[in-house]
C-alpha cells in the first residue's frame, strides 16, 4: 500500500486525507499489482520480505537454537532438581531421569534405542555412580543444574573417545566428515546461482544501454520489463552474496575446529594409554573440550541446513526470469549487443580518476590519501550514484575513480564523466534517485535507502535499529604533541642582572687570586689507609632503687566525759582514750 502510494505515477497526495474514491482507487491498484504474476517487481518485493523475515546471522541463529533446546529440556531439568527422593527406589528413578537428560542434551542417539541408553548409563556411572546421589540431592537447585550440564558434557566426551577407540558410539554420526562434504556442496550451489545472476545482470544491463542509444531498439524492447528484471537479479545476487559469506565463515570455523578436535583426541589418547585408572584432573578437562567442540560441529550442521534452506527458498523468486526471458528469446535480443561484465567495466575505468582541482567545494577520497578506504560506507550498495536516477541502471561503481563525500555520505561512480556530472549538483541527482525508488519500491531495500524511507524500513532492520542503522564513521580520534622548546635551551644560568651581585662575585674572584691551597705528606702518613671501627652503641638501661610501701595505723578514738556539765558548779571533764595499740592492727 505504501509503495503504491509513493509511486508518483499514481498521483496520490500523501499530505491530504484520502477520499472514498481515492481509497477505492488505491485498493484497485494494489490488487492489480498483487495479481500481476508477470511483473518481476512483485517477485523482488516478495524475495525481500521473505529474506528479511527469515534470515538470521550466525549469532542470532545459534542463540535462538540454544534457547529452544533449553526450553525443551526445562521440564526434565525441573523434574530432577525438584525431586526429593528418600528410598532407594526413588533414587534409582531420579538417576534414570539424569541418564535421559544427558542423552537428550547431547543429541547423540535416540532415547528409545536400548543400546544407546546402556552406553550412556555406563559412561555416567564411571563419573557419577549412584552412591553419589545423596550428595547430589543435598545441593541447591542452581548447583544441581550446573552439575547436570557438566555431567552431560563429560558423558559426551567419554562417548566420543570410546567411538574413536571403536569401543562404542555406533549411533554417533561422523559430523566432521559430513560437514567436509556438505559445505563445499552448499558453496558450489550458491556459486552456481551467483554465476547465473551475474550473466543475467550483464545481459539485462547491455540491453538497457542499447535501448538508450538506439530509438529502434527502444521501441523493440520497451514492452519487456527489463529494469524490473535487472533489479530482481541484482537483489537475488545481493542475498546470495550474504549466504556465500556465511558459508565461507562456516567452512573456516569447521576447519579450525577439526584441527582442535584431532589435537584434543590425540592428547586424550596419550593421557589414558590403556591405564586402569587416570587422574580426573587430567582427563576431565579434555572430555569437556571434546564435548564443546562437538557442540560446535552440531551448530555448524544447523547453520548449514539453514543456509541450504534459504538458498533453495530464494530460488523460487527468480524463476520469473526464465518465464519472461527464455533462453532463445534472450539470445535473439542480444544479437549485435556487446555484453560487458562488472569486472570489465571496472577495468576499463581503472586508468581514469577525478581531478580534484576541478572542484573547489567538493571533498574527494582516494585510496592513497584515505585511511580505511575499503571500510567506507558507500551509498546505493556500491552502485553508480549517477546511473540510477539518470538511466535507471545499477552499474557497479569504481572507487578508484574517486569517492565523492557529500554531506557526510560517500558516493561512487561507473565513469569519470558520471562523477563530474553528479558532482556539479549532487542534491539534484540524489533526489532523482529517490524519485526512481518511489517508482520501483524494490530499490528502497536494494539501494539501502532506508534513511530516506524510514517508515518502510525492513522488519529485521527495525527490530535491530540500534545495530543495522548505525553507519561506520570514517573519522577517528587522534592526538598530536608539540615540544614546548624544539631548539636546545640557550639560557645562560650564570647571567646576573643585579649589579651588586656582580660586584660580590668580582670581589670573591679577586680574593681567590691571593689564596693558595697547600698539602703535605709525612713519612708516617705515607701509604696509609683509612681505618674504621665499629662499636656497639650504649643501650638504655633503667634501675629501680626503692619501692613504695604503705602501712595502716589505728584510727584515734578519744572520748571526753562531763562536757555538758552537772549539778556541781565546777565542771569535771574525764578524758578516755580508746585508741587501739599499733601492734594490734
pLDDT at 470 (0 to 100): 35
Burial class (CB in 10 A: 0-12, 13-18, 19+), 458: middle
pLDDT band, very low/low/confident/very high, at 467 (cuts 50, 70, 90): very low
Residue from 455, 445, 447 nearest 429 by CA:
447
Q: Do residues 448 and 355 share a domain?
A: yes
| DSSP SS3 for 540 | coil
pLDDT at 475: 56
Of 137, 165, 193, at which residue does a domain stop? 165
Do 129 and 270 lie in one domain? The reply is no
Phi and psi dihedrals of 560, rounded to 5?
-115, 135
Residue 440 has pLDDT above 60, yes or no: yes
Residue 194 sits in the same domain as residue 107: no
pLDDT reported for residue 350: 86
Residues 324 and 234 in one domain: yes
Q: What pairing do the DSSP bridges indicate for beta strands 558-561 and 409-411?
A: unpaired
301 and 355 together in one domain: no
The answer to the question of residue 102 being in a domain is yes
Q: In the predicted model, what is the mean pLDDT of residues 323-330?
A: 84
Query: DSSP characters for 121-152?
Result: HHHHHHHS-GGGHHHHHTS-HHHHHHHHHHHH
Mean pLDDT of 304-331: 88
Query: What is the arithmetic mean of pLDDT over 33-62?
Result: 88
Domain total in the chain: 4
pLDDT of 50 reads 92
Whether the per-residue pLDDT at 464 is higher than 60: the answer is no
**Could you tell me if residue 472 is inside a domain?**
no
First-to-last C-alpha distance (Å) of the chain: 123
Residue 531's pLDDT is: 64
| pLDDT digit string, tens, across residues 14-36 | 667 778 888 888 888 888 888 88
Q: How high is the pLDDT of residue 563?
A: 78
The conformational region for residue 273 under phi > 0 = left, psi -120 to 50 = alpha, else beta, is: left
Q: Where do we find the cell 569517492?
A: 403
Q: Is the pTM of this model over 0.85?
A: no
Is the pLDDT reported for residue 458 higher than 70?
Answer: no
What number is the average pLDDT over the span 190-212? 90
- One DSSP character per residue, 555-579 reads PP-EEEE-TT--SSSS---EEEE-P
Give residue 473's pLDDT: 42
Share of the chain above pLDDT 70, in %: 91
Q: Cα–Cα distances in Å, from 438 out to 236, 239, 299?
A: 20, 22, 41
What's the rounded Cα separation, in Å, for the pair 71 and 54? Answer: 21
Residue 327 CA to residue 333 CA, distance in Å, equals 10
Q: Is 404 helix (H, G, I), strand (E, B) or coil?
A: strand
Q: Which residues 6+ apart lie within 8 Å of 501 measured at CB?
A: none
Residue 476 has what pLDDT? 61
Shared domain for 271 and 184, answered yes or no, is yes
Q: Is 512 inside any structural domain?
A: no
- 309 shares a domain with 369: no
Is the pLDDT at 87 greater than 90? The verdict is no
Buried b (16+ CB within 10 A) or exposed e, 528-562: eeeeeeeeeeeeeeeeeeeeeeeeeeeeeeeeeee
Residue 46 lies inside a defined structural domain of this protein: no
Q: Which residue has the higher pLDDT, 537 or 355?
A: 355
- For residue 559, tell me if it sits in a domain: yes
Domain boundary among 134, 165, 196: 165
Q: Give the domain extent around 353.
A: 349-456
Does residue 496 carry a pLDDT above 70?
A: yes
* pLDDT per residue as tens digits for the range 234-293: 999 999 999 999 999 999 999 999 999 999 999 988 888 777 677 778 888 999 999 999
Q: Answer yes or no: is 468 within a domain.
A: no
306 lies in the same domain as 208: yes
State pLDDT tens for residues 133-183. 888 888 888 998 999 999 999 999 998 988 888 887 778 888 999 999 999
Across 187-196, 310-319, 559-568, least confident range: 559-568
Q: Are residues 152 and 208 in the same domain?
A: no
| pLDDT score recorded for residue 183 | 92
pLDDT surpassing 70 at residue 428: yes
In a domain, 374, yes or no: yes
Residue 131 lies in a domain: yes
Domain end, chosen from 414, 431, 456, is at 456
Same domain, 236 and 321: yes
- Domain check: are 155 and 237 in the same one? no
Q: How many CA atoms lie within 13 A of 171 on its CB side?
A: 18
At residue 248, the pLDDT reads: 93
Q: Do residues 223 and 154 share a domain?
A: no
Q: Given this model, what pLDDT does residue 465 score?
A: 45
Lowest mean pLDDT of 162-171, 260-269, 300-309, 480-489, name the range: 480-489
Strand, coil or helix: 363: strand
pLDDT class of 575 with cuts at 50, 70, 90? confident
Give 489 or 115, the one with higher predicted confidence.
Answer: 115
Helix (H), strand (E) at residue 282:
helix 280-315
Lowest mean pLDDT among 95-104, 256-265, 322-331, 561-570: 561-570
Amino acid at each position: 500500500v505504501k509503495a503504491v502510494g509513493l509511486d508518483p505515477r499514481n498521483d496520490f497526495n500523501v499530505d491530504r486525507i484520502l477520499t472514498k474514491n481515492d481509497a477505492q482507487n488505491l485498493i484497485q491498484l494494489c490488487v492489480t499489482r498483487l495479481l500481476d504474476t508477470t511483473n518481476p517487481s512483485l517477485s523482488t518485493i516478495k524475495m525481500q520480505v521473505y529474506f528479511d523475515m527469515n534470515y538470521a546471522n550466525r549469532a542470532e541463529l545459534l542463540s535462538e537454537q540454544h534457547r529452544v533446546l533449553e526450553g525443551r529440556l526445562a521440564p526434565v531439568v525441573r523434574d530432577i532438581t525438584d525431586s526429593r527422593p528418600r528410598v532407594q527406589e526413588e533414587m534409582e528413578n531420579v538417576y534414570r531421569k539424569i541418564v535421559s537428560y544427558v542423552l537428550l542434551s547431547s543429541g547423540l542417539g535416540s532415547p528409545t534405542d536400548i543400546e544407546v541408553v546402556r552406553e550412556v548409563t555406563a559412561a555416567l556411572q564411571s563419573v557419577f555412580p549412584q552412591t553419589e546421589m545423596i550428595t547430589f540431592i543435598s545441593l541447591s537447585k542452581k548447583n544441581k543444574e550446573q552439575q547436570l550440564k557438566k555431567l552431560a558434557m563429560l558423558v559426551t566426551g567419554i562417548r566420543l573417545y570410546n567411538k574413536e577407540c571403536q569401543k562404542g558410539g555406533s549411533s554417533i554420526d561422523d559430523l566432521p566428515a559430513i560437514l567436509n562434504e556438505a559445505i563445499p556442496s552448499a558453496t558450489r550451489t550458491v556459486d552456481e546461482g551467483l554465476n547465473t545472476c551475474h550473466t543475467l545482470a550483464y545481459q539485462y544491463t547491455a540491453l538497457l544501454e542499447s535501448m538508450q542509444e538506439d530509438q529502434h531498439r527502444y521501441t523493440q524492447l520497451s514492452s519487456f520489463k527489463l529494469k524490473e528484471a535487472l533489479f530482481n537479479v541484482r537483489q537475488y545476487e545481493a542475498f546470495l552474496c550474504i549466504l556465500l559469506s556465511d558459508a565461507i565463515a562456516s567452512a573456516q570455523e569447521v576447519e579450525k575446529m577439526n584441527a582442535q578436535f584431532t589435537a584434543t583426541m590425540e592428547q586424550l589418547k596419550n593421557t589414558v594409554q590403556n591405564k586402569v585408572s587416570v587422574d580426573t584432573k587430567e582427563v576431565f578437562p579434555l572430555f569437556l573440550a571434546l564435548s564443546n567442540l562437538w557442540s560446535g560441529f552440531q551448530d555448524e550442521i544447523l547453520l548449514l541446513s539453514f543456509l541450504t534452506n534459504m538458498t533453495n527458498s530464494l530460488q523460487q523468486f527468480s524463476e520469473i526470469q526464465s518465464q519472461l526471458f527464455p533462453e532463445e528469446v534472450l539470445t535473439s535480443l542480444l544479437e549485435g549487443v556487446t555484453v560487458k561484465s562488472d569486472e570489465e567495466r571496472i577495468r576499463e575505468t581503472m586508468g581514469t580518476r577525478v581531478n580534484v582541482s576541478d572542484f573547489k567545494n567538493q571533498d574527494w577520497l582516494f585510496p592513497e590519501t584515505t585511511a580505511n578506504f575499503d571500510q567506507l560506507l558507500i551509498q546505493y550498495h556500491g552502485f553508480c550514484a549517477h546511473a540510477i536516477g539518470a538511466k535507471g541502471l545499477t552499474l557497479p561503481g569504481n572507487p578508484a575513480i574517486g569517492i565523492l563525500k557529500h554531506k557526510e555520505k560517500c558516493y561512487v561512480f561507473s565513469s569519470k564523466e558520471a562523477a563530474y556530472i553528479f558532482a556539479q549538483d549532487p542534491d539534484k541527482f540524489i533526489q532523482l534517485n529517490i524519485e526512481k525508488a518511489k517508482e520501483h519500491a524494490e530499490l528502497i531495500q536494494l539501494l539501502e535507502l532506508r534513511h530516506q524511507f524510514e517508515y518502510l524500513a525492513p522488519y529485521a532492520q527495525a527490530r535491530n535499529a540500534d545495530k543495522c542503522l548505525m553507519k561506520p564513521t570514517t573519522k577517528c580520534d587522534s592526538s598530536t604533541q608539540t615540544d614546548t622548546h624544539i631548539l636546545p635551551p640557550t639560557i645562560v644560568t650564570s647571567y646576573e642582572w643585579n649589579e651588586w651581585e656582580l660586584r660580590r662575585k668580582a670581589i670573591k674572584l679577586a680574593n681567590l687570586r691571593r689564596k693558595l691551597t697547600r698539602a703535605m705528606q709525612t713519612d708516617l702518613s705515607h701509604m696509609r689507609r683509612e681505618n674504621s671501627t665499629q662499636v656497639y652503641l650504649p643501650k638504655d638501661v633503667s634501675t629501680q632503687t626503692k619501692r613504695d610501701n604503705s602501712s595502716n595505723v589505728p584510727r584515734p578514738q578519744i572520748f571526753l566525759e562531763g562536757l555538758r556539765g552537772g549539778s556541781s558548779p565546777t565542771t569535771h571533764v574525764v578524758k578516755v582514750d580508746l585508741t587501739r595499740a599499733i601492734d594490734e592492727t
